[in-house]
A and B are shown apart, each in its own frame.
Chain A
């Protein structure tokens, strides 16, 4: 009996040990203890530069489905998901304003105002909808409004479209001229250069240039923009003390509802413009420990071909009825994704990649945040 007692004691001890311990969250702090995030770019990183005046009246401000929790997700823009991941306070627009043409929109303009250190504020998201890499005037800028041409009326909203180069200059001017090693700096731009160059292409062809010649010119211009963006990152960010810089390349713009709707030829041109921009951006960047380039281009193509793997159900249709998602809310969604009750979140919209013809839904932005998070972890920053 004593001998069997030894056996049963061993088994009982094993069974007892097996009962210990629950499933825990574990250490959720990033490996680098960031204190701030600084964002440069365009609408894809804009968290409310235009959340004033006419846009604020419509409950907008993000280029997506507006209203926190509108689709049941915690955040809207990828920079907001990322800030939460890095245990940072939520990003806020460093400069707000709208040069609204009151005669068209019916709402007065709102003067441009800084909310960064220059005015005692703490906002460091300089990214603005419509911003290009270098050129001052991007989509939505009031200077593109022409009273005689109804197709230009969308520009009457009067986006500031401060280009990325000037965004970085503004940061440096207003924040002591340097970056710190506790900042994560993100740069994500180029899309508005594509939209302007597509318009340029159409104008050139209309003026009698051959499509081949016009295409060559606009693709070259996109390559130049990519090279310029790389130079700004090298000279104005990396050379100014930043040690954690994330550059996101352009997703495949030819897969957006905007490009699909323009037809196969336009899609081909847009793809060429995108790849040329990305190639020159990549080629121009000074690689090093302080720089992380995230390949959103490859990810966007993979999301389109492997939809289900990413939890997507639709990668070709805009979820919003408004032409610009800047003023899209869950009350202005297509019937396929509209919530059953106005109080309920529009969870079906989380299957859609695009809110409007070019901007992601909150879920689409979250996928980008996951991609960036993965690359940050591999880099050792998360």
Chain B
């Protein structure tokens, strides 16, 4: 109960600050946002398939990029949001038996997502937390190999390349926005995406991993 009252107080304070300037988020409105998103994969890698050193795994480092959304208010509380953005460039490093070899590849990822959202509090409240869920599509492309990757898969041979991949996953999110004037608002959200990838190497092995990244973002939005 105590925690709840603190949260309520915070919300009330924020609501007070924004009072007077807010335009309601009501059915039929469109909002756009642009901001910065950091995606942090929580990788569980399978072993690289044979032939390879037993227990060869991969890990994928965090990446950040500009993102943008467009949101349509279906009702005063329910909205649909399309999320896109610039590609994320992740470093892929060795793990498991090949931990320590450093960067073995890099990959670009673009992951447009459609979210069905529910917004709490009144339509005219300047502060509205929301939750959402929906499908994510991920395209892994623009990979780059490395001297280390070639050395452990085809020493002295042509450079080993990493194939791209396209996958479907699902995303859940929780966020909140705060209106700063009639049209402009600030927004922050945390997202969890459930997705796997399967990257074939030009030498025949396949690297499979569950990525399940957590993303955090902050953005500025405009209501039309």
**B161 to A377, Cβ gap below 8 A?**
no
Q: Is B69 on the interface with A (CB-CB < 8 A)?
A: yes
**B151 to A377, Cβ gap below 8 A?**
yes
Q: Is B106 on the interface with A (CB-CB < 8 A)?
A: yes
**A26 to B159, Cβ gap below 8 A?**
yes
Chain B residues near A20 (CB, 8 Å)?
Answer: 87, 108, 141-142
Query: Which stretch of B16-24, B51-59, B167-175, B207-215 is in the interface?
Result: B51-59
**A21 to B157, Cβ gap below 8 A?**
no
Q: Is A308 on the interface with B (CB-CB < 8 A)?
A: yes
1/0 contact trace for B150-173 toward A, CB 8 Å? Answer: 111101111101111000000000
CB under 8 Å from chain B, chain A span 94-144: none
Tell me the minimal C-beta distance from B140 to chain A in angstroms.
10
Q: A3-B224, A10-B69, A14-B112 are in contact. Are A373 and B152 (CB under 8 A)?
A: yes
Q: Is B143 on the interface with A (CB-CB < 8 A)?
A: yes
Q: Is A374 on the interface with B (CB-CB < 8 A)?
A: yes
Query: Which stretch of A42-50, A73-81, A283-291, A315-323 is in the interface?
Result: A73-81
> Which residue in A14, A17, A22, A374 is a CB contact (below 8 Å) of B53?
A374
**B112 to A81, Cβ gap below 8 A?**
no
**B146 to A21, Cβ gap below 8 A?**
no
How far is B158's CA from A21's CA once the two chains are assembled, in angstroms? 20
**B156 to A83, Cβ gap below 8 A?**
yes
Q: Is A6 on the interface with B (CB-CB < 8 A)?
A: yes
Chain B residues near A310 (CB, 8 Å)?
Answer: 50-52
Task: Considering the complex, give the chain A residue whose CB is closest to the CB of B73.
Answer: A3
How far is B160's CA from A373's CA once the two chains are assembled, in angstroms? 14
Q: A6-B70, A370-B153 are in contact. Are A17 and B84 (CB under 8 A)?
A: yes
1/0 contact trace for B97-117 toward A, CB 8 Å? Answer: 010111001101010100000
Tell me the minimal C-beta distance from B30 to chain A in angstroms.
4
Q: A10-B84, A18-B110, A26-B106 are in contact. Are A370 and B155 (CB under 8 A)?
A: yes
Chain B residues near A374 (CB, 8 Å)?
Answer: 53, 98, 101, 148, 151-152
**B69 to A28, Cβ gap below 8 A?**
no
Task: Considering the complex, give the chain A residue whose CB is closest to the CB of B102.
Answer: A377
How far is B156's CA from A30's CA once the two chains are assembled, in angstroms? 12
Chain A residues near B178 (CB, 8 Å)?
Answer: none
CB under 8 Å from chain B, chain A span 337-382: 366, 369-371, 373-374, 376-378, 380, 382
The total number of A-B Cβ pairs within 8 Å is 160
Task: Considering the complex, give the chain A residue whose CB is closest to the CB of B104.
Answer: A377
> Which residue in B85, B98, B112, B150 is a CB contact (below 8 Å) of A15?
B112
How far is B101's CA from A3's CA once the two chains are assembled, in angstroms? 50
Tell me the minimal C-beta distance from B138 to chain A in angstroms.
9
CB under 8 Å from chain B, chain A span 1-60: 2-4, 6-7, 9-11, 13-15, 17-18, 20-31
**A28 to B145, Cβ gap below 8 A?**
yes
Q: Is B139 on the interface with A (CB-CB < 8 A)?
A: yes
**A366 to B54, Cβ gap below 8 A?**
no
Q: A306-B54, A370-B53 are in contact. Are A27 and B147 (CB under 8 A)?
A: yes
How far is B112's CA from A82's CA once the two chains are assembled, in angstroms? 43
How far is B148's CA from A30's CA once the two chains are assembled, in angstroms? 8
**B82 to A7, Cβ gap below 8 A?**
yes
Q: A13-B84, A23-B164 are in contact. Are A28 and B150 (CB under 8 A)?
A: yes
Chain A residues near B149 (CB, 8 Å)?
Answer: 26
Q: Is A311 on the interface with B (CB-CB < 8 A)?
A: yes
A-B CB contact pairs (8 Å), 14 listed: A2-B224, A10-B69, A11-B82, A17-B85, A18-B112, A18-B141, A20-B141, A21-B108, A23-B141, A24-B142, A26-B105, A81-B155, A84-B156, A309-B52
Other CB < 8 Å A-B pairs besides A28-B145, A85-B147, 13 of them?
A3-B29, A10-B68, A11-B82, A17-B85, A24-B142, A25-B159, A28-B146, A81-B155, A85-B155, A370-B53, A370-B151, A378-B101, A378-B102
Interfacial residues, chain B to chain A (CB-CB below 8 A): 28-30, 32, 50-54, 68-70, 72, 82, 84-87, 94, 98, 100-102, 105-106, 108, 110, 112, 139, 141-153, 155-159, 161-164, 224
Interfacial residues, chain A to chain B (CB-CB below 8 A): 2-4, 6-7, 9-11, 13-15, 17-18, 20-31, 74-75, 80-85, 302, 306, 308-312, 366, 369-371, 373-374, 376-378, 380, 382
